[in-house]
Amino acid sequence: MGVYAFVGIMHSHGVSQPVGGSGKLSESLARCVEHYGGEIRCNSEVRKVMVSDGRAAGVELSDGERILARDAVIGALPPHVISRFVEGLDPGVVQRAERASLAPFSLFVSHYDLRNKAQFHAGPDVGRATMLTMMSCDRLSDMLDDFDELRRGRVSKRRLVAGGDESIKDPTCVPAGKGMFHGMTFAPYTLAEGGAARWDEYKEEFGDLSLQAYRTFVKNLTPDNIIARTLCSPLDLERSSPNSMVKGDVHGVAPYFYQNFAHRPTPDLGRLSVPGLDNLYLVGPFMHPGGGVFGAGRGTAIKIFDDLGMDFERVTRNG
């Protein structure tokens, strides 16, 4: 799915990158919400969605505080955890939700702080790209072999890597004159030897293997140029967002064709709402169009506007 969606979106809309890093997008969205009178609560863990008379009535936080909903409850509730947060759902809906397929591989992320900006073997123009995908194989059959290894929890030496030095185009990302490299490789969540629990012990070794792969493309990922690195394993990803990235799946459920469009994440939940329960809407990368950051909440917003009798086009056009 990503192959079709990404290429089409990039060619028709281009790729945007917030100045200062992607966190700046979250910060500006927060300013927008507050500008229009909204309130954002941090460190407030939702324990459950309150249900009354077949409607989602609000949320209860882990400290017992209850927040009532005026118009709707919008939940980033992936299929595997929905029954943990909402009681009394149809058992068939829950069973099918919990059977949704997760991706058989996750991601391993490496962040490098560099003394000098990254230099690519392919020349300086390459570094100006916003998104680089670098293949260490040139035959489709080799790539399929690598993904089969991942499916079995094994780590292949050859790998598909992505990454770049955003500070080449946006120097505000780093201290003056310095550089950075962020790299991603695919990795199994459940390692064939030792399962997911082995990641904490294995992380540095896998980071070194990934570094070797990045060095095929980047000249100066060398000890003298590296100030520090931070590694994030599939298990760390799950820890960072335990309800969204179940088993390290960064899209909540796998983007297989049979789990797309109205069947994403399941045919029951693919209408952006929950059967048998009014007023609860679903949002997140596990809903169509999937992916993650492209178009994630738009479909849900349009549906809520329709249900509330509001004109989505007029509001979004006028800002």
Ligand X SMILES: Cc1cc2nc3c(=O)[nH]c(=O)nc-3n(C[C@H](O)[C@H](O)[C@H](O)COP(=O)(O)OP(=O)(O)OC[C@H]3O[C@@H](n4cnc5c(N)ncnc54)[C@H](O)[C@@H]3O)c2cc1C
Interface positions with ligand X (CB under 6 A): 45-46, 76, 107, 109, 184, 237, 241, 243-245, 250-251, 284-285, 291-294
Nearer to ligand X, 29 or 310 (CB): 29
DSSP E strand stretches across 115-151: 132-135
Give me the least distance between CB of 133 and ligand X, in Å please: 10
Give the DSSP per-residue string, 282-319: E-STTSTT-SSSSSTTHHHHHHHHHHTT--HHHHHHH-
Please return the burial class of 304, using the count of CB atoms within 10 Å of its CB with bins 0-12, 13-18 and 19+.
buried
Q: Which is nearer to ligand X, 60 or 113 (CB)?
A: 60
Can you tell me the distance from the alpha carbon of 11 to that of 218, in angstroms, rounded to the nearest whole number? 26
Q: How far is the CB of 252 from ligand X (least distance, A)?
A: 7
Closer Cβ to ligand X, 46 or 57, answer by number: 46
Residue 267 preceded by cis peptide, ω within 30: no
Nearest-approach distance from CB 114 to ligand X, in angstroms? 19
Whole-number minimum distance, CB 9 to ligand X, in Å?
A: 9
Name which of 164 and 285 has its Cβ closer to ligand X: 285
Residue 84 or 121: the one with the smaller Cβ distance to ligand X is: 84
Q: How far is the CB of 46 from ligand X (least distance, A)?
A: 4
H or E segment to which residue 49 belongs: strand 46-52
Which tokens belong to 252? 């909540």
Instruction: Please give the residue whose beta carbon sits closest to ligand X in the complex.
Output: 292
CA–CA separation, 64 and 194 (whole Å): 38
